[in-house]
Amino acid sequence: MRRYFGTDGVRGTVNQEPMTAEFALRLGRAAGHVLTRHLAHQPHILIGKDTRLSGYMIESALCAGLTAQGMNVLLVGPAPTPAVAYLTRSLRADAGVVLSASHNPAGDNGIKFFGADGFKLPDGVEMAIEHCLDDLPPLPDASRIGKAFRVDDARGRYVEFCKSSLPRDMRFDGLKVVVDCANGAAYDVAPRLLTELGCDVVPMHVEPDGRNINLDCGSTAPEGMCERVVETGADAGFALDGDADRLIACDEKGRIVDGDRVIAALAGRMLRRGMLTGGGVVATVMSNMGLERYLDGLGLALHRAPVGDRYVLEMMRQTGCNLGGEQSGHIIMLDCNTTGDGLLTALQLLAAMRDEEQPLSALAADMPLFPQQLWNVELPRRMDVLAEPGVRDAVAEAEARLDGKGRLNVRPSGTEPKLRVMVEAEDETLMLDVGRELVGRIEQAVTTLA
């Protein structure tokens, strides 16, 4: 059983277990021991963070634990999660860490690790770190403690890396884009990157103060971005989350382009250009049935993974697919980076618009969308609600009502004390009726358990 690591590292409310300075120090010691015990040289680990006020506290404590255990630490400051994945490889570090709670409010934070290859740590390594927390190793003698360094040009390196994903002669002069940086880690690099490539950039939410990350902005609240696109006559809008590993786009008409439609647009372009591998793409159990039908029309398979970009990535490596992602906007292009990357996704959409000589609204415009809705049931604490007989019966009855005319997915969140209920059907009335009744019965069961 996992006690601390979820689908995206350790995450929680700051100054409550486990997201405390004391825990971060212990985690630094445990991770430092597990990640370096087989290395012959003094290891290096890179730490990046988003713009949360608590990042300073968690960074200092984690750095103390890592250096105490003998690791040298490279501090890059505020940087997107995909930048840390890239810089870990580029700087030849033995591991990387991102301090971020992604799209969560400013009062939360998280700690997630990358291996030297830029991929998130396997489950087995995370479990080894958890076990080590219960029995911390002895501290090395004073002559073997590590040092900490600042990497001053980290964001500039990442900007150049993103530009290298495009043909050398490709620019986007004449395109106006709105970019909502969510007052997060991309507040500087996103406008700079798009401007250097020739875009007329309309920046939004690029003034982080430590407390306003994701506050009514970014990928979880893209409505303001959509309105600004229409107001300014922009060609596209891009809304990032706090650590910029996900992207929600909107077309020139101010209509949302979610992760499913982005995958459809990129898959079609990559197929036509001979760039798509694996004979299909990887999405999750949450992806719309319309995406599956659209890909089938192109002769491509849709492989469904459990929710979480780590599981999408695992299935991509198993199937040989180089494109995958989530409806929520995590898009992974393995030919470009080892994790979801919102800025690279934006660049590839702009490249598709340029190559196809079409507006964003026309890319994958014929992909059908089935009525779908997601409900979040708040839990008073982490609990196994799905094990309750009454909840199991309610889920079974909901599936019977759909009877092949739709599908549902009920799962606990990997990052928050919530139960996520997704219902999808060809008929919207059926979808809403089934979903509302199921959610009502689950909420009743939660109240009884509480």
H, E, C per residue of 369-390: CCCEEEEEEECCCCCCHHHCHH
pLDDT at 231 over 80: yes
CATH code of the domain in which 423 resides: 3.30.310.50
Q: Is 299 domain-assigned?
A: yes
Q: Is 160 domain-assigned?
A: no
Residues 342 and 393 in one domain: no
What is the pTM (predicted TM-score) of this model?
Answer: 0.90
E strands, 395-434, are 406-412, 418-425
pLDDT reported for residue 87:
98
Residues 217 and 346 in one domain: yes
pLDDT reported for residue 123:
87
| Domain span including residue 97 | 5-154
Residues 174 and 143 in one domain: no
pLDDT reported for residue 417:
84
pLDDT at 450 over 80: no
Q: Is 104 domain-assigned?
A: yes
CATH code of the domain in which 184 resides: 3.40.120.10
Work out the percent of the chain whose per-residue pLDDT is above 70: 100
Residues 346 and 438 in one domain: no
Q: Is 68 domain-assigned?
A: yes
Q: How far apart are CA 52 and CA 38, in angstroms?
A: 34
Residues 33 and 134 in one domain: yes
Residues 84 and 53 in one domain: yes
Q: Is 21 domain-assigned?
A: yes
68 or 417, higher pLDDT = 68
Q: Specify the DSSP element, H or E, that contains 64.
A: helix 54-68
Residues 357 and 376 in one domain: no
Q: How many CA atoms does the CB half-sphere of 258 hold within 13 Å? A: 16
CB-based contacts of 68: which residues, under 8 Å, 6+ apart?
A: 25, 28, 29, 32, 139, 145, 146
* Strand pairing report for 323-325 and 72-78: unpaired
Which residues are the active-site residues?
Answer: 102
Q: How far apart are CA 152 and CA 73, in angstroms?
A: 14
Q: Is 161 domain-assigned?
A: no
Residue 350 per-residue DSSP state: H
pLDDT reported for residue 6:
86
Residues 328 and 208 in one domain: yes
Residues 254 and 396 in one domain: no
Out of 362, 388, 411, a domain closes at 362
Q: Which of 344, 309, 284 is nearest to 103 (CA)?
A: 309
Tally of domains within the chain: 3
Beta pairing partners, 236: 177
Q: Is 420 domain-assigned?
A: yes
pLDDT at 413 over 90: no
- Can you tell me the mean pLDDT for 347-362? 96
CB 75 within 8 A of CB 41: no
pLDDT at 83 over 80: yes
Residues 244 and 337 in one domain: yes
Out of 343, 362, 381, a domain closes at 362
- Can you tell me the mean pLDDT for 411-419? 83
What sections of 298-421 are H helices per DSSP?
309-319, 342-356, 389-402
Q: How far apart are CA 90 and CA 415, in angstroms?
A: 29
Residues 248 and 203 in one domain: yes
Q: How far apart are CA 185 and CA 66, in angstroms?
A: 23
- Can you tell me the mean pLDDT for 345-366? 95
Residues 341 and 383 in one domain: no
pLDDT at 382 over 80: no
Out of 338, 362, 386, a domain closes at 362
pLDDT at 380 over 90: no
